[in-house]
Structure 1
């Protein structure tokens, strides 16, 4: 009988949906397992192979966990607010709600077509008012606790999209979405004080099962550094406070640099003799993103302008030093001002060389005229440093810090690179921010009982020329009364960023239909934390930080039961096009899962996507390898005609079966899916060579079930296993292995005579030397070279080879 995937796969997909095969309850006597994949943005392009890799991987894990006896929560939903949908809606004159509905419908169809074992009763959609009601509720709690505030700040502004962009959305000075120029401008923005949680976000990583590169990225993004804040005087009487991790090098500070946006630039304008040059540089810097400005590369040109007319004063030497503006200093990082020690910092050295500034060595040990060097060794000795001379760096840091404190011009300080989270978007398609502005009371939160604040239905959702949200034109919606004093007031017209809904979605899966809370405490007590979260490396900084921050805040409120949301986090590599290039429409190498499924079936797609290579690394698509996976499934299908009618393991395959069960079990847990499949392929080869029983085939099918569930269920049903064992293959216990049977009873060993290979012999595993030598001498091929010889030495490598060193017998 032919393997007709086109008929088999829809049959089982329909059956799984109708019977709710993968439904899970919030209470069970079984141990729980919560496996999570990042929910997709439902774009018009639909599902792509980049989605299929992590989804299939976690589906394999979830399916095996069910067979291992776990109550498995494996959910799916849609991160559906955001700019791409709004831009598409504007371009095509279709309401974003309609675009979102159609895209979700298409995504759902594709996900079900791949046979994923999601609990479809728990689907969430961030644009559903019953969902974003609780996103708004969390925002209100943040505001009430002083962690949400509004301030004016410089932002990245896309001149075409007419909205604020995050730093990572700006590439080479243009919007990554539309390619239009991005400028810096001042805007009033809602901010979330994630910096209050910076240290906890670092410390609590130690207890988590995250891969090391994820932990490293989190720590680097937060960027904790210990040092001192120091006040430098100026000739205008103002004080410039700087943060430095190396206060011991203060005697080597020969100039200062402040951010082009620093308020002192405007304050000192009348004192500057080169104001036109300064203003031109400020405007140029405004056209660059923070990321471009702070990116450090060896060949990056150092630019800046001296503020001629104002000088700084080094607080330890009393000497006047020049002050520059340069775009590599950000007003949003630290104090917006730095001291420059060019003898001991590569960037400062290059800047000093370009502008002809003094370079003073203060830590002995380098050629300051040739290149800058940064001494991190605590044993470096201070020179040219007054009362610090002769001290090691380790000794000097506390001495200078104490001195600064006593003089009232500095203090010890811990600094973080992490900035507060910009939480406003001047767009339509996002969660309305539930705040009201009253001229008398200021910003007042909505009453929680009035949530959700619904996004109004508008005819025009195009951005305004002023940069305000399209909601600002909805005067009837904007006009309201103050909840505190009853006076006329206005609603906030900015909306939340897409990050909002994705910062807590994993909690809603635990209890998705709850109308009284974001999820019941009972459900969260049972499911939290997520046991295994897999997602892309591109989301291991911001998304992971933001969601950990929200969860920790909810923990502080007593809403959630654990201090961290995810116990384990893994990440996957990209799938590249044929030849190893990134997939893109322009290259014409994008692989559409629908096309692969139509030609080869979903199980072939699933199997190949797991066989493609090391899960954590990028891998190139290969059409030939896809065909190879289809041939493997054909071979499995044809085994049913060969199997003997016995439910016992055959003697010929018993050891191979136990080895395969152990290998596949361990490899799925380790996300080594490619080697797990290779083990199954080797087992099938053994079956074709040795023959097989129905017992052998049943074990193979259960191991193959997580990878190719449709074909396995069809064979399971056709061969009568469903009636014999009760239920589907995916509902059976995972096959067990006997450790003793995974070790071969015998082993083939190479036999060398005088270091040259002469034959091989089969001996019992772990045989002692005498037994191996006896077996070797009994071999006719070996005897040709040992007859008439004395063995003077034996070299034995257990279970691998024996080398007989001989000489002629006298």
Structure 2
């Protein structure tokens, strides 16, 4: 049994001793900077989720190194943060001691993975030589106006006792401890990320990032052009809202204010305050329980109304859970007819829906005319106490939300069949004439204007329903139709009495079961002087009108907020600011940096630990030398990760944060790897930081990460692998039993790297067997005696295809496909190893040892040295493929050979001739190869069998006419991509029959069909005869 653990320990020791992955700038080589998001050093072990993340990056770095690139592949630790502070408190030790111990442990585990890091560049953000430059950048940004302090409502976690940035709040909870977040008004420090909002958005298009993560950033930045409109509350107080859809302002039927709006309870009318407070409590409880059903779209009336400045309509104001307090004004105008979210809210709370955009202005006129006709019919039927309902047609249009429709017809159904004659007479009296035809003999009438009324006397349809048809669906002559009661006609009549100004306003009609809002483009209606305009044109015209009347102004809004960095904790970078009664806010002088964290602090008290250090808090003003106080907040952890990739370029610099020449050589990062969860935190801040430093002439590039890859999560037993779920598989337990290369290969093979993967104990066993097969090939090499070299050209062909495929798949993060190619190649090599020359086998194994290096580096080194090499496989040159050696005809022939072996086994099974004395392989007649070639040409033009056969009958194979007629329909969809010649196929089988003789221990004959009674052979599909 191979001791893979001993092999990995040996090579890791050699790599470290000789520092083979240490790198420096080399202008003669093309650089490649590969980087994974650096981890927080909290784990006392690594599980298979970690192994997967780092194996992906290492495979890329190793491949690029082998391809001749000068590869920078560093590692460090994001070591400041609240978890270390809390863990240290539990263990009653200093956070520094806890963090240093954690770094020592995690570094050891990472080294045991065999990762090809340049460990000489290792950094840790809690060390003063790093955080000194956090403070330096803070001061530089402050001098440029990119850092400021203000009192602001902030997210506060009472359990962590600190402020949280917007990006650290997930579903209303703290991202660390899942405690419900509350709002507090505090003086805080901010980075002005909004100063770069446009550039952050615009430059996304230049990045080789997934569309998914670019969309997440686009939405987070949230650039919107619109209008801020000055609505008024019913007490004449200003109530501004921002909208991107001023074209719908005449359709506003309610307003919404966020539950987190700082003025909410001032606005709510006194009798409604209790209801609103109870609702806020319910929402928070639902959030804590993640009750999705409650969280969808809920609200309560505030007792207040808002006045629409364009038409003076009085609009009810609701407080609801779907409006963000920190976007625009924290309030919205709701247009339920044209926004699905608003529509659902309106239906739920029985709020008026007013349509102001229609798909076709002509449809509107048709509908209006139809409704007038219906009103006439209703008045007449009332006299006879006849009840009827709309059916299909117009009713369906209302039912499915298509209120405006082109068809000039109305379908109605009577409640009682005996009323049919009476209603027929009523309709005739109104000027309609019965139209007879077989299709509509029961119920089609028309008048001079072309309007059709459909009546139904289908008794079965009536009997199949309740006596009350309201809001029902009816099956009529196998057609599903909607039924609408006459109630809507009554509402329409009442509406007409109220509205006598000939406006195109019919949208207050009852719409039964309408499932959605109309959100397409169209024409304005019910919009005063803007009626008839295309709604996209109306956006500008109504915006002009709003500005002209001073009802508001055009505005550009961003969802992106400035970056809140203040934290009321100890274990972070101290903010280098001094407060002086005389001089105000004074930055710590650069020569005094780093401003160190004090040692004389206590963690027992609640609140900011830095406040407990009098030696830290009390200081002198650098300007006037008067008594002053230090800022006691520390910087949030995202500060540390916003520039660490620059520090890696020259990590030991003492006088500058980084060496500009080194940064200009290595940056930007060519391949960044990390989780999609960082899309709106770290990845935004890093981009902001890079652009700000560029504008300070410290960098000469715009973006930190050219390409970004987001790896998938590892699951076990259906849950994400983690300590909290109790489902971890540690690297140690796998390394002891199988060797770490087995784990690395398995996590890269089982699923595409960007996909989620499920850990499988059976799967790891299969991978272990594969690695053993590789090892045995090298172990057996010296004892392998070549029987023949008939497979040389086939092996060389497959090797060159393998090299080409591996390059493509590794470059495109298709590691699972790359490993599958290796598995297939190793299986093939095992099959033919005795039938290639010793030199060809040696050269192939030599190349293979390098090709497996990105995935199984320890086995790669061992196998490389087993062949007598003295260098490191990890720093060798990647084999180049020779396109001239790739001949897919050879692969096709071997595939035909393998399929023929399967056919022989099938024939043996069917005939029960388990030990044949002779097997004849019958190669197809020569003319069939010609048939296949001609068919391949013809099927490009047509797939019609008759046309193809007709063409074939005009060729020199027409003498086989009957056979052609029989074969063409059977083989037309089975023509292979490669078509050989009879002699080539026969010669191949002759040369390779040695494999069949070995397998079946009998005489093997290769004959052509012309010499045999068997005539069912086809090109690539020989017939089989057993004796």
TM-score (norm 2): 0.71
Deviation by residue 1:192-247 (Cα, 9 ceiling, x = unmatched): 22122222111101111112212122112222222211111233333221111110
What SS is found at the alignment partner of 2:674? strand
Residue number in structure 1 paired with 2:670: 531
Measure the CA separation in 2 of the matches of 1:39 and 1:333.
32
What SS is found at the alignment partner of 1:797? coil
Q: Number of aligned residue pairs: give it.
A: 775
Task: Output aligned runs, 1:384-463, within 5 Å.
Answer: 384-462=526-604
Q: 1:515 to 1:646 in 2, by over 3 A?
A: farther
Residue number in structure 2 paired with 1:519: 658
- Contact persistence 1:345–1:372 (CA under 8 A): no
Residue number in structure 2 paired with 1:496: 635
Q: 1:788 to 1:556 in 2, by over 3 A?
A: closer
Deviation by residue 1:487-546 (Cα, 9 ceiling, x = unmatched): 322111111111111111111111111112211110111011111111112122321111
What SS is found at the alignment partner of 2:106? helix
Residue number in structure 1 paired with 2:198: 199
Residue number in structure 2 paired with 1:508: 647
Residue number in structure 2 paired with 1:574: 713
- Contact persistence 2:43–2:106 (CA under 8 A): no
Residue number in structure 2 paired with 1:112: 111
- Contact persistence 2:798–2:825 (CA under 8 A): yes
Deviation by residue 1:445-473 (Cα, 9 ceiling, x = unmatched): 222222111111144235x53xx421012
Residue number in structure 2 paired with 1:57: 56
Tell me, yes or no, if structure 1 residue 316 matches structure 2 residue 310: yes
RMSD between superposed Cα atoms in Å = 3.4
Deviation by residue 1:251-309 (Cα, 9 ceiling, x = unmatched): 1122322234545446557x7454444555567778898xx99x99786454444443x
- Contact persistence 2:338–2:519 (CA under 8 A): no
Residue number in structure 2 paired with 1:783: none
**Which is greater in Rg?**
2
- Contact persistence 1:256–1:312 (CA under 8 A): yes
Residue number in structure 2 paired with 1:13: 12
- Contact persistence 1:510–1:524 (CA under 8 A): yes
- Contact persistence 2:208–2:708 (CA under 8 A): yes
Task: Output aligned runs, 1:733-744, within 5 Å.
Answer: 733-744=877-888
Picking from 606, 621, 627, the partner of 2:759 is 621
- Contact persistence 1:750–1:760 (CA under 8 A): no
Residue number in structure 2 paired with 1:478: 617
Residue number in structure 1 paired with 2:326: 332
- Contact persistence 1:750–1:761 (CA under 8 A): no
Measure the CA separation in 1 of the matches of 2:740 and 2:167.
35
Residue number in structure 1 paired with 2:977: 799
Q: 1:471 to 1:285 in 2, by over 3 A?
A: farther
Q: 1:245 to 1:715 in 2, by over 3 A?
A: same
Task: Output aligned runs, 1:143-292, within 5 Å.
Answer: 143-166=142-165, 169=168, 175=174, 177-178=176-177, 180-265=179-264, 272-278=270-276
Tell me, yes or no, if structure 1 residue 344 matches structure 2 residue 522: no
Residue number in structure 2 paired with 1:782: none
Measure the CA separation in 2 of the matches of 1:352 and 1:214.
33
Q: CA deviation at 1:615?
A: 0.9
Measure the CA separation in 2 of the matches of 1:762 and 1:545.
66
Q: 1:428 to 1:136 in 2, by over 3 A?
A: same
Task: Output aligned runs, 1:464-475, within 5 Å.
Answer: 464-465=605-606, 468-475=607-614
Q: 1:29 to 1:171 in 2, by over 3 A?
A: closer
- Contact persistence 1:767–1:799 (CA under 8 A): no
Measure the CA separation in 2 of the matches of 1:362 and 1:629.
64
Q: 1:255 to 1:18 in 2, by over 3 A?
A: same
Measure the CA separation in 1 of the matches of 2:156 and 2:228.
32
Deviation by residue 1:569-594 (Cα, 9 ceiling, x = unmatched): 111111111x4432244653211111
Picking from 696, 706, 709, the partner of 1:557 is 696
Q: CA deviation at 1:721?
A: 1.8
Q: CA deviation at 1:710?
A: 1.4
Tell me, yes or no, if structure 1 residue 745 matches structure 2 residue 889: yes
Deviation by residue 1:293-339 (Cα, 9 ceiling, x = unmatched): 9x99786454444443x532211012332333334333311112211
Tell me, yes or no, if structure 1 residue 610 matches structure 2 residue 604: no
Measure the CA separation in 2 of the matches of 1:762 and 1:126.
73
- Contact persistence 1:434–1:446 (CA under 8 A): yes
What SS is found at the alignment partner of 1:64? helix
Q: CA deviation at 1:718?
A: 3.0
- Contact persistence 1:260–1:285 (CA under 8 A): no
Measure the CA separation in 2 of the matches of 1:87 and 1:762.
78
- Contact persistence 1:81–1:498 (CA under 8 A): yes
- Contact persistence 2:194–2:560 (CA under 8 A): yes
Tell me, yes or no, if structure 1 residue 670 matches structure 2 residue 809: no
Residue number in structure 1 paired with 2:918: none
Measure the CA separation in 2 of the matches of 1:303 and 1:641.
70
Q: 1:341 to 1:745 in 2, by over 3 A?
A: closer
- Contact persistence 1:580–1:619 (CA under 8 A): no
- Contact persistence 1:260–1:281 (CA under 8 A): no
What SS is found at the alignment partner of 2:532? coil
Higher mean displacement: 345-354 or 485-494: 345-354
Task: Output aligned runs, 1:759-798, within 5 Å.
Answer: 769=931, 789-792=962-965, 795=972, 797-798=975-976
Residue number in structure 2 paired with 1:777: none
- Contact persistence 2:283–2:294 (CA under 8 A): no
Measure the CA separation in 1 of the matches of 2:52 and 2:325.
41
Deviation by residue 1:174-197 (Cα, 9 ceiling, x = unmatched): 545445444333332222221222
Q: CA deviation at 1:606?
A: 1.4
Residue number in structure 2 paired with 1:702: 850
- Contact persistence 2:265–2:273 (CA under 8 A): no
- Structure 2 alignment gaps of length 5 or more: 360-400, 404-506, 908-920, 936-958, 981-1015, 1019-1027
Measure the CA separation in 2 of the matches of 1:763 and 1:284.
82
Q: 1:262 to 1:790 in 2, by over 3 A?
A: closer
Deviation by residue 1:722-747 (Cα, 9 ceiling, x = unmatched): 2xxxx211121100111232232343
- Contact persistence 2:579–2:585 (CA under 8 A): yes
Q: CA deviation at 1:159?
A: 2.9
Measure the CA separation in 2 of the matches of 1:703 and 1:768.
41
Q: 1:694 to 1:483 in 2, by over 3 A?
A: same
Q: 1:243 to 1:720 in 2, by over 3 A?
A: same
Higher mean displacement: 361-370 or 414-423: 361-370
- Contact persistence 2:11–2:858 (CA under 8 A): yes
Residue number in structure 2 paired with 1:731: 875
Higher mean displacement: 447-456 or 738-747: 738-747
